[in-house]
């Protein structure tokens, strides 16, 4: 087959909505078999049928990425059913901005548990498969979803931004560790993308800021990010995008 990702096995976390859902569909359209992970089973089932209707292959695995045992079981399932992953889009995340003085400690912890610990659980479970695939077939991809918040400074986003700075810096370090084993590591850093991410925000000031931002600029779509991930993964094995920042044209 001439499909750019034919023969590849992708794992996408946070695949039940937004960026992950769009990316799973796009990677499948490029020929990859795709394992889709998130907590909402019905949403995953709908996604898998849509991919199948379009001639692709997908496998739904309902799992909470903060649960290390569930993530290990998911990795075993990808190994037994699809032969192991060679592309990991490590994307599940949550954004809960609030002024630091509100001491929203539960929201701080939630962001750290998912964006840092959950991301690490997935890395721990799937990196062995990526390394093995790269040794056997010459290429593997680990693409972590960071954010422009890893680079720019936004009042009230300190904890979220810090989790994403962790993702970017971790990715840079893993790149030099895994690159010699033919596993390409990338961090994607989007500006604002219209997804369900904004629906979880509870802080009134942050909600005002978001609705203002919706009026003054056209946001990116999840498909814009999906196409970028497809492009990164379709490069020749020697080409590694270390960091890709993608912004709405109107976002300062």
Q: Indicate if 160 belongs to the active site.
A: yes
**How far is the C-alpha of 199 from the C-alpha of 207, rounded, in Å?**
9
Site string for ligand NDP, 135-154 (x = CB under 6 A): ----------x-x-------
Query: For residue 34, which phi and psi values (nearest 5 degrees)?
Result: -125, 125
The residues in 183-202 that bind ligand NDP, with binding defined as CB under 6 A, are: 190, 192-193, 195-197
Count of residues of this chain found to bind ligand NDP when the rule CB under 6 A is applied? 30
The residues in 205-244 that bind ligand NDP, with binding defined as CB under 6 A, are: none
Sorted by sequence, the CB contacts under 8 Å of residue 113 that are 6+ apart come out as 66
Contact of 200 with 114, CB cutoff 8 Å = no
Burial class for 191, CB neighbours closer than 10 Å (0-12, 13-18, 19+): buried
Burial class for 101, CB neighbours closer than 10 Å (0-12, 13-18, 19+): exposed
Please report the DSSP string for 154-168 in residue order: -TT-HHHHHHHHHHH
By CB under 6 A, residue 71 contacts ligand NDP: no
Beta carbon nearer to ligand NDP, 132 or 243: 243
* Minimum CB–partner distance for residue 204 and ligand NDP (Å): 19
**Contact with ligand NDP (CB under 6 A) among 11, 12, 16, 130:** 16
Query: Which residues are at the interface with ligand NDP (CB under 6 A)?
Result: 13-20, 38-40, 43, 64-66, 91-95, 114, 118, 145, 147, 190, 192-193, 195-197
For the annotated catalytic residues, the residue numbers are 160
């Amino acid at each position: 087959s001439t499909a750019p990702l034919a023969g590849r096995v992708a794992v996408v976390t946070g695949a039940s909505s937004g960026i992950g859902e769009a990316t799973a569909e796009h990677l499948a359209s490029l020929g990859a078999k795709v394992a889709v992970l998130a907590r909402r089973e019905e949403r995953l089932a709908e996604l898998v049928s849509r991919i199948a209707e379009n001639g692709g292959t997908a496998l739904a695995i309902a799992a909470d990425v903060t649960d290390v045992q569930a993530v290990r079981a998911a990795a075993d399932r990808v190994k037994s059913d699809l032969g192991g992953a060679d592309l990991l889009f490590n994307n599940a995340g949550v954004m809960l901005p609030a002024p630091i003085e509100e001491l929203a400690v539960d929201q701080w912890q939630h962001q750290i548990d998912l964006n840092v610990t959950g991301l690490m659980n997935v890395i721990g479970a799937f990196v062995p498969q990526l390394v093995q695939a790269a040794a056997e077939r010459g290429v593997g991809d680990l693409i972590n979803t960071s954010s422009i918040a890893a680079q720019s400074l936004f009042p009230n986003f300190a904890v979220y931004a810090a989790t994403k700075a962790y993702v970017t810096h971790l990715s840079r370090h893993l790149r030099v560790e895994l690159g010699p084993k033919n596993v390409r590591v990338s961090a994607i850093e989007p500006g604002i993308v219209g997804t369900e991410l904004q629906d979880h925000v509870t802080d009134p000031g942050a909600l005002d800021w978001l609705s203002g931002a919706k009026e003054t600029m056209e946001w990116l779509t999840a498909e814009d990010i999906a196409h970028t991930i497809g492009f990164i993964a379709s490069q020749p094995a020697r080409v590694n995008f270390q960091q890709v920042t993608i912004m709405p044209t109107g976002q300062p």
